[in-house]
Amino acid sequence: MRIFSGIQPTGRKHLGNFIGAIVQYVAGQEQEGESIYCVVDLHATTVAYEPGVLRERLYDTTAILIAAGLDPERSILFRQSDVREHSELAWLLSSVTSWGDLNRMHQFKDKAGAQRDLVSAGLFTYPVLMAADVLAYRATTVPVGDDQRQHIELMRDIAARFNARYGDVLVVPEGVYPEVGARIMDLQEPTRKMSTTGGTEEGTVYVLDEPKAIEKKFKRAVTDSGSEIRAGADKPGVTNLLEILAAARGTSVADAETSMAGARGYGDLKGATAEAVVELLTPVRERYEALRADEGELERILGRGAEKASAITADVLTDVRAVMGVGCPPAARR
Ligand code: TYM
């Protein structure tokens, strides 16, 4: 098994990123094989952004990942733009990517609608770069949250079309989604996913929030009519709280429901969920400060990660160039 996943260095990382993805990254280190995690700064340039802020967020995200338990000795942790093969492979794969498929991507439509000045071609081809990220490593397994499903399906189609045209050079990867917490919803608008771009400030719990802020956000969480604490399509607010409670405790939603059997109402559910989330995030916040303060060390970690990553992608790209008939033929190389 070779695990690969990516995370954008944009905004502040929230509970959705943490439960949907970061917890899985850390667990992936226990699997046999390699785990490779990438902070995708090139993807972050596809919407309006400030170059200086991007660098800050890159360090923030890297420090959060390490604080959460990602061990750069056991995993490969690196910055996307440091490994040039990602960009090259994205171009090469664009020739086996259907324009119509790209045009059907929900995330493109959502993000394009939110742009004020420019809807960039980069935003449109974003999923091709994402496919290149994974396929450049012949990764087998891609842990992500539910919102990435469509991108993962497209990545699989791209790999399959490449192999059908040029021979079996790439691995068709599988997406893996957490059983609990694959789609954490906004606490104020529980029918929308928690997100730094599309969500509400009050309904978004950040990984680095202080316990008091976390408690306040849960206390004000929007719930549903009735008073029964159970998950169901008619109860989006309560279901979201139960999902968060279960994910934070590492149990099933059914267990979370059972644990609330003696509760007096939604207030108890909010309190229990806030407590579990504070317990989950406090050690991360505490470790974060020291890690974030040492940018030199973060650069050293990312640099070592990029070296290890490049050793893998160089081989894959040699094969891809050869079968596509681009560049110097392998036999002519001395
Ligand atoms: P990004 O940076 O938006 O999010 C990082 C991860 O967090 C997950 N996530 C959520 N999970 C549950 N509930 C939520 N509300 C929630 N919000 C976000 C995302 O599913 C993701 O796993 N395109 C990717 C980054 C990427 C990538 C890759 C991922 C680039 N290349 C290659 C995998 C493989 C993205 O924007 O994630």
CA-127 nearest atom, ligand 1: 23
- Same domain membership, residue 167 and residue 20: yes
Q: How far apart are CA 3 and CA 35, in angstroms?
A: 5
Q: How far apart are CA 334 and CA 327, in angstroms?
A: 14
How high is the pLDDT of residue 196?
87
- Same domain membership, residue 250 and residue 102: no
How high is the pLDDT of residue 293?
97
CATH number at 232 reads 1.10.240.10
How high is the pLDDT of residue 199?
83
- Please tell me if the CB atom of residue 203 comes closer than 6 angstroms to any atom of ligand 1: no
- Please tell me if the CB atom of residue 133 comes closer than 6 angstroms to any atom of ligand 1: yes
Å from CA of 139 to ligand 1 middle: 17
Is residue 330 scored above 90 in pLDDT?
A: no
pLDDT tens for 166-218 read: 999 999 999 999 999 999 999 999 999 999 887 899 999 999 999 999 999 99
- Same domain membership, residue 160 and residue 141: yes
CA-8 nearest atom, ligand 1: 2
Q: How far apart are CA 8 and CA 31, in angstroms?
A: 24
- Same domain membership, residue 251 and residue 162: no
How high is the pLDDT of residue 91?
98
- Same domain membership, residue 239 and residue 162: no
Is residue 32 scored above 80 in pLDDT?
A: yes
Instruction: Tell me which of 254, 270, 289 is where a domain ends.
Output: 289
Q: Compute how many other C-beta atoms are within 10 angstroms of the C-beta atom of residue 200.
A: 15
- Please tell me if the CB atom of residue 14 comes closer than 6 angstroms to any atom of ligand 1: no
- Please tell me if the CB atom of residue 5 comes closer than 6 angstroms to any atom of ligand 1: yes
- Same domain membership, residue 298 and residue 151: yes
- Same domain membership, residue 259 and residue 303: no
- Same domain membership, residue 68 and residue 128: yes
**Ligand 1 binding pocket mutation candidate from 144, 146, 193 (most atoms within 8 A of CB):** 144
Å from CA of 181 to ligand 1 middle: 13
- The answer to whether the beta carbons of residues 217 and 264 sit under 8 Å apart is no
Å from CA of 65 to ligand 1 middle: 13
Query: Is 159 part of a structural domain of the chain?
Result: yes
Distance of CA 12 to the CA centre of its chain: 13
> For residue 323, what are its two tokens?
């079968």
Å from CA of 8 to ligand 1 middle: 7
Query: Is 329 part of a structural domain of the chain?
Result: yes
- Same domain membership, residue 133 and residue 13: yes
Å from CA of 109 to ligand 1 middle: 17
Å from CA of 15 to ligand 1 middle: 12
CA-193 nearest atom, ligand 1: 15
**Ligand 1 binding pocket mutation candidate from 148, 174, 187 (most atoms within 8 A of CB):** 148
Query: Is 195 part of a structural domain of the chain?
Result: no
The total number of structural domains in the chain stands at: 2
- Please tell me if the CB atom of residue 21 comes closer than 6 angstroms to any atom of ligand 1: yes
**Ligand 1 binding pocket mutation candidate from 4, 7, 149, 176 (most atoms within 8 A of CB):** 7
> For residue 137, what are its two tokens?
């490593």
- Please tell me if the CB atom of residue 193 comes closer than 6 angstroms to any atom of ligand 1: yes
Domain of residue 168 covers 2-178+294-333
pLDDT tens for 143-155 read: 999 999 999 999 9
Is residue 52 scored above 80 in pLDDT?
A: yes
Identity at 94, one-letter amino acid code: S
- Please tell me if the CB atom of residue 20 comes closer than 6 angstroms to any atom of ligand 1: yes
Query: Is 191 part of a structural domain of the chain?
Result: no
Å from CA of 234 to ligand 1 middle: 27
The predicted model gives 92-108 an average pLDDT of 97
- Same domain membership, residue 225 and residue 172: no
Query: Is 186 part of a structural domain of the chain?
Result: no
Instruction: Tell me which of 273, 289, 305 is where a domain ends.
Output: 289
- Same domain membership, residue 173 and residue 80: yes
CA angle 112, 128, 313 (to 5 degrees): 145
> For residue 173, what are its two tokens?
């990867």
Distance of CA 295 to the CA centre of its chain: 22
Provide the pLDDT confidence category of residue 11 given band limits of 50, 70 and 90. confident
The three-class DSSP label of residue 3 is strand
CATH number at 10 reads 3.40.50.620
- Same domain membership, residue 315 and residue 169: yes
pLDDT tens for 108-132 read: 999 999 988 899 999 999 999 999 9
**Residue keyed to tokens 């960009």:** 87
Å from CA of 140 to ligand 1 middle: 17
